[in-house]
Chain A
Amino acid sequence: MTAAPPLLSIEGVSHRFAGLQALRDVSFCVRAGEMLALIGPNGAGKTTLLNILAGSLRPTEGTVRFRGRAIEGQPPHRINRLGIARTFQSLELFPSLAVRENVMAGGVARAGVGPLASALGWPTAPRARLALERAAEAHLRLVGLEHRGDEAAAVLPAGQQRLLAVARALATGGECLLLDEPGAGLNPAEKARLAEVIARLPGEGKTLIFVEHDMTLVGWLAERIVVLDHGELIAEGTPEAVRGDPRVVRAYLGEPGAVPARTSGPCATPLAETRPPADPLLVVKDVDVAYGGLRALQGVSLEVYPSEIVALVGANGAGKSTLLRAISRMVPLEGGAILWDGDSVGARSAEAMVRAGLSHVPEGRQLYPSLTVWDNLALGHYSRVFPDGNLVRRVLRRHRWRDDIRARAEEVFALFPILRERRAQRAGTLSGGEGQMLAMGRALMSAPRLLMLDEPSLGLAPQVTREIMGRLVRLREEGLTILLVEQNARAALEIADRGYVLETGRVVATGSGRQLLRDPEIAHAYLGRPTDRLPAGPFPDSTRATGP
């Protein structure tokens, strides 16, 4: 081990915003030429940390040193001039600029020609531009995009856009690269291509820190891994060490034995043991979704039968939320079909799906903070008040809907008594657990047939998660069908009749809840496989301009 000082050192960094402690006393170092992966479950604080390193945020406490100099709190452009370059999870390309111009833009800050000289047509400006073009060509060649230099950046497919972002960051000349989910939305070939490019960078004197959920990519590239969970650094070391670390496994998969055993009742026997007699309520058939240019889902199929709990688990970025959004028609399908009650959903609007009996509790609760608890609940009944979106009819049927709301609310209060106490409080003042209950209550107000929940346990203490999972079991016993997306795989699978495991947009395992709990595939889906190594090239060159 060299005794040289680290290139980048993070010392005691904490960050707090909006009452949330996003990072808590995080410290670690990065040596020059290293490839470090920053991983952790959803909400761990990885992006916050990356933003602090890149200068978009000033940490509430702690120091970041680059080559020994404290840089925390400096604005992003100055941090870049010091030698740190970053890419964004959302790409942030310059869509109407050509591919080559995107990369050239990486070098403009260092071009050194002022506006006056440029305007007057001094030869320094065209010379500088030519130099930028040549440098851009070299960087495009490095990532294999040199044939598409003249095309608009917006027309590139997702994988090539990611490569373009990397080329642009390289063009700034920064020696330390921060990559934010570089592999998001890429297919295996594109991912391998990206990994090949990135693997070459330390050879060019670059240091890399990347945030990733895709454990295959991490397995291929990372020399060292830092694991964050709930804002704290819980593990640091080689990929093998981290994969085997029980704390890491627990952080990703959840606590074992978190939920009390199922009570007796009509549905006490898991349905999946015997083939369910009824027709499925929801069928997702071979669905493809592209979301903001990224390929989020590929060929995903699942079924949900009446009165069962289906769990959908997988690492962050696997596409779970996207699947729910596709079902509730908030994002369009690129391929495949969704069937509700046997009929194709087709071009139905989101509002129509709600009226048909679907209710979606979104990730992060999404309440109306300035409205009261009661108002939040009442608005959940909207689709029944205006059954065809028709306002006039509502006016004519004066009293019935008010009583309906009151009746439904009583049922919700029976399920979540705390909400009755807090009915006149503004929703924004509720605690995390109470807010989650309100979000569920609001979704139940429309008397749905299928309730979809997106990560209800996010940000909640284990005790509260247990309570909520228990309520879901109760709801199922009353006949409700539930599709539950969770990153906390154990908690979800313990109450589920059946489950599906998603990994980077594909279903990689399915079975009864009990089967999946024992399946090692789940751990792999979250933490990667131990024998992962960068496949040897050359790869089918997906970057040749033979079409998108």
Chain B
Amino acid sequence: MVELLQYLIGGLVVGSIYGLVGVGYTGVYNVTRIVNFAQGDFAMLGAMSAIAVYELGLPLPVAIGAGIVAVSGVGAALERWAIRPARADEVRGIIITLGAGVFLEGLALTLWGTDAKPMPAFAGDRPLGFLGAAIPPQSLWVLGTALVLVVGLHLFFQATYLGKAFRACAVNPYAAKLSGIDVRTMAVISFVLSGALGAVAGIIVAPIVLVQYDTGIPLGIKGFVACIIGGLGKPTGAAVGGLLLGVLEAFATGLLSSGYKNAIAFVLLLVFLFVRPGGLFGELERVES
């Protein structure tokens, strides 16, 4: 019983990461209709650059901030130089983001080699007890941060003026333009946001999972699976999808074997794609002009 609880908590923690990465996809997709295949590499780069700054001797909060800023900048650069030229063509956009992801992976490889980078836990290593299960404190950081971010984003989109303008761009870009909403600026902001979210996801999970140059791809894919499960375009959907995926993976690893862990994500992905591509909550409805 304790074991199951352990799996559940572990699954929720990993699932929160998947959810955060998934939410990162959502922002970009809503405004630009492009799936940013480099999202996972944003997370990886955020973690690794934060660690690199930390290893230079700077305090942890500064390192974390640096990582977030760096990847946000990368996001803006990606939008400006790679995405904007390819606007209309969906397949081209996919391959461009794929290439960008590979580039970031290569960058990490060149800068930091193949070693996995350890990051110190934010609040110490002693596991806390909870109903008999041992929880590393970092897990609480992950769950807490993810919760705060998702709730914060939800409030942003539902209750603030700018957030509503964002949703307007997603739902009906033609009308948004007619109201004077600058869709292009929104696109840049969405990429910066997705970069920041990705970086945060990578940073908070780095103390638990050893991050290395190629951690981006599986992370990105699972984040996308979370989106598909929840319904592409809805942040809450991505969050729920991520949690579901994380928990299922944890149980599969615990009860079966760890090798099949990756397969779970893809079997789930294919099941949803073939049976219910709109996901659990349906894709965001858009007005086609």
Contact = CB atoms under 8 A, between A and B. Distances in A.
Interface of A: 328, 330, 350-351, 354-355, 359-360, 362, 366-371, 375, 378-380, 382-383, 385-386, 389, 391, 442-443, 446
A371 B168 contact: yes
A461 B11 CA distance: 56
B70 interface: no
Contacts of B174: 330, 362, 366
A385 B176 CA distance: 14
A366 B164 contact: no
Interface of B: 161-162, 164-165, 167-168, 171-172, 174-182, 185, 284-285, 287, 289
A355 B180 contact: yes
Given A378-B161, A378-B164, A379-B164, A366 B171 contact: no
Nearest to A401: B161
Given A378-B161, A379-B168, A366 B175 contact: yes
Given A354-B179, A370-B171, A371-B171, 16 more contacts: A328-B178, A330-B177, A351-B180, A354-B178, A362-B289, A366-B174, A366-B175, A369-B287, A370-B167, A371-B164, A378-B164, A379-B161, A383-B180, A386-B180, A389-B182, A442-B179
Most buried by B among A350, A368, A389: A368
B178 A366 contact: yes
Contact of B175 (A368, A370, A375): A368
Contacts, number: 74
Contacts of A350: 177-178, 180
- For B167, B174, B180, which residue has the most chain A Cβ atoms within 10 angstroms? B180
Contacts of B161: 378-379, 385
A11 to B, nearest CB: 31
A328 B179 CA distance: 11
Nearest to B289: A366
B168 to A, nearest CB: 5
A235 B280 CA distance: 48
24 contacts: A330-B174, A350-B178, A350-B180, A351-B181, A354-B180, A355-B180, A362-B178, A366-B172, A366-B178, A367-B172, A367-B175, A368-B168, A368-B172, A369-B172, A370-B167, A370-B285, A371-B164, A379-B161, A379-B164, A379-B181, A383-B179, A389-B182, A443-B178, A446-B180
Contacts of A383: 179-180
Nearest to B167: A371
Contacts of B176: 379
A-B residue pairs, 9 tightest by C-beta: A383-B180, A354-B180, A366-B175, A351-B180, A368-B171, A360-B178, A368-B168, A382-B180, A350-B177
Nearest to A328: B178
B175 A362 contact: yes
